[in-house]
Every structure is written in structure tokens, then in C-alpha cells.
Amino acid sequence: MKFSNLGLALAGVVVFLVVIEGFASGVLLVQQLFDATGSRASVAERTHTRYDAELGWVNLENRTVEDLYGPGADLHTNAQGFRGSRDTAPKPSPGVFRVVCSGDSFTLGYGVADDETWCHLLTLSGRDIETVNMGQGGYGIDQAWLWYERDGTDLGHQLHVFAFVYPDITRMTQLSFLRYGKPRVRYGASGLSVENVPVPQAGILSGWLRRHRDTFGALRLFRLLGPLVARPLPEPADDRFAPYSEDEAAAVALEIFADVGRSNAERNSVAVVVYLTSWLDLRDKPEETQRFRDYFASELSRRSLPFIDLTDDFRALPPEVLETLFIKPGETPFRSAKGHYTAEGNAFVARTLSSRLDAALATNPEP
């Protein structure tokens, strides 16, 4: 009888621990899901973007997200979906020199307020300028180009700064980014073409499960039932399209930049391609990124397209200064902000780029 009572007691303790463990896991799950769908999304862009059949995702219009990246680091979009609170008129005011900035999250200003982005801070000697921020988180060179072609070419402007970082080349090879579908651009005998459009859109439930499958996968119940349950929605493979290497993507990017140059020339504007430096160039993959930077410098020069690479300007800085230019882990609510420019980093890019753009405009005056 005593052994029976002891067994019951042990069984009771086990049941109690299981219940407590399950309750604790449930609380943690709810907290993680709230962080992702409540006051803060797991991906910052989810707070200010929507599905777009041609681009994959694009900014919501007239959107305000207060303190998105931290206290005072608000994000606004205007009526056209560009970052900033002021709407963009079809043409700039008389005497105003308009600059359009295209690119990814480094151009958007991921991690800083509207007025702290390098695009907003640009200046040009002797000119009253207005900037239009067409940067978008997660975009490859292909998406940035498609967005400009669709919504930017008809905006009267005198300068188009097309900026990119090394990962934008990799993104061009993919049909999705962070489980969100995207278009892909190729170059062939007929010129530039777009595939995977309209961009596939996941259903509301499946899309939600995809975004949070890592959260569910942390539960021991899902681990117990195996990887098929822990990751119930793996990335879909699409056999309709041929493989796409980074070297091929770089060649396509070159054709995109050439098209941007022609498009701007037709509209009496100057296009400048800008390589924005990241830790990949300075520390993580310097040899690999150097190969692509040399390629673009050589090929764009051969095609008489202005190209500005800021890497040497970053490398000339003392290490203690360099560290202040990039966001560190935990400095914003979003893990993916790590490595983006701080307010100081954006200001450094704006100062350096402004002087280089002055020189580029002197060499390549408006058509």
C-alpha cells in the first residue's frame, strides 16, 4: 500500500510538472505571437507594407508607425507610399532640384527616423533639393528597379540615386524573401523580362503559420511529434524557373542599371549607381564583395554610367568611429536591424555621398 501511495504521489508530481511546463510554454508562445502581431511585428515591414502582385510587397499609403524602431524613430509614408510625411507632387516646385533614391532597407532607413535617413539628409552645393525616398526593406535590385519603373519615372526629377548593398544581388536569384513571394528579372535576347508575376500570395492562415513556424517549433510538443510538425510549411520549391547564380544576377543588375541610365537620360535626369558599404565589405566577406564591386566599377565605367563606391571612405575611419555607424544587436526592437546604419551612419553616408554627387553632376550635367 505504501508503494502504491508513493507511486500515486510521484505520478501526481509528474502530472503537475507537465501541466506547469505546458502552461509556461503556452505563456511564452502567446508572448512571442503578441510581439509579432500586436504592438510589434516580427518583421518591421509588416507594420507598413501590403501585398503587391507586381512587386511582392510595397508600402501602405499614408501610414504612420510611431516609435517603430525605438523612441522617436517614427516611420511615415505619404500618399504615394514613399517614406516621408509630405506628398510628392508630379513635378518639383520651380527652382527645386529633386532627387529620387532607390534601394533596399539601407535606403529606406531601417532603424532610424524619417529625417535621419541618408536620402533625407542629402545636400548638393548651390541647390535647393527635395528628396524622394523609394527604399524598401528586403528589396533586391530587381524590385527596386520595378518599383521605380512603375511609380518613379513619371515623377519630375533631375537626379536618380540607385543604391544597393551586396545582399541585393543574392535576393535577385530568389523567388521569395523571408517567405514572402517576389518577382524575378532576367536578361535575354529580348532584353529584360520579369518572371513569377503575378507574385504568388499565401493564404492568410498559411502565411501566418509560415511567419511563426519557428515560434511554434520551440514548443516541446512540436519537437516530440517530429520535424514535419515543427516545420509544417517548408519553403515551396518551384521547378518552373531555371537556376539563377549570383554571377548571372550581377550581369542582370548591370543591364538594369543601363536601363535606369537610359530612362533618366530620356527624362533629362542623371542616374548614379551607389554601392552602400556594410559589415560584409568591412569584415565578414570582404574578398567576395570586392569581386562584385570591381565588376560593377569596371562595367559601369565602360558604359559611362556614374558609379560611387563608399567602401574606401568607410575603411578610412578609425575603428572606434566605424563601430558607431552600425546598429548593434538589441538597439532596436527588431533583430534584423543589426548592421544597418545608425543615425550617425546615415549622416556619414549623406555627407560623403553629397560631395561625391557634386563631382558626378559636374562631370555628368543634366542632359
Reported as a pLDDT band with limits 50, 70 and 90, residue 35 is very low
Inside any domain, residue 9: no
Inside any domain, residue 14: no
Q: Express each pLDDT in 42-75 by its tens digit.
A: 789 999 999 999 999 999 999 999 999 999 999 9
**Is the pLDDT assigned to residue 233 strictly greater than 50?**
no
Residues 112, 67: contact at Cβ < 8 Å? no
Among 85-89, 175-179, 250-254, the least confident range: 175-179
Reported as a pLDDT band with limits 50, 70 and 90, residue 363 is confident
Inside any domain, residue 29: no
Inside any domain, residue 3: no
Reported as a pLDDT band with limits 50, 70 and 90, residue 229 is very low
* Average model confidence (pLDDT) across the chain: 86
Please give the C-alpha separations between residue 260 and each of 174, 192, 249, 268, in angstroms, as whole numbers: 22, 12, 16, 12
C-alpha 84/C-alpha 108 separation (Å) is 10
Inside any domain, residue 30: no
- Give the residue-averaged pLDDT of 275-302: 97
**Is the pLDDT assigned to residue 114 strictly greater than 70?**
yes
Inside any domain, residue 348: yes
Q: Check residue 282 and give its pLDDT.
A: 98
Picking from 97, 99, 114, the residue whose alpha carbon sits closest to that of residue 59 is: 114
Phi/psi at 113 (nearest 5 deg)? -75, 165
Q: Check residue 239 and give its pLDDT.
A: 55
Q: Would you say the C-alpha torsion 55, 61, 63, 69 has a positive or negative sign? A: positive
Interior angle at CA 328, CA 170 and CA 56, nearest 5? 35
- Give the residue-averaged pLDDT of 242-261: 95
**Is the pLDDT assigned to residue 221 strictly greater than 60?**
no
Residues 193, 203: contact at Cβ < 8 Å? no
What percent of the chain stands above pLDDT 90? 73
Number of domains in the chain: 1
- Indicate which CATH number applies to the domain containing 191: 3.40.50.1110
Q: Check residue 179 and give its pLDDT.
A: 86
Domain region containing 333: 53-196+238-363
- Give the residue-averaged pLDDT of 88-97: 97
Q: Express each pLDDT in 3-29 by its tens digit.
A: 455 556 555 544 554 455 555 455 544
Inside any domain, residue 210: no
Give 357: exposed, middle or buried? Use CB within 10 Å, 0-12, 13-18, 19+: buried
C-alpha 299/C-alpha 295 separation (Å) is 6
Inside any domain, residue 42: no
Q: Check residue 223 and give its pLDDT.
A: 52
Reported as a pLDDT band with limits 50, 70 and 90, residue 39 is very low
Among 52-56, 123-127, 214-218, 351-355, the least confident range: 214-218
Question: Helix, strand or coil for residue 281?
Answer: helix
- The beta-strand segments (E) located in the chain are 49-52, 56-59, 64-65, 75-76, 96-103, 128-135, 159-164, 176-177, 180-181, 184-188, 191-195, 270-275, 307-309
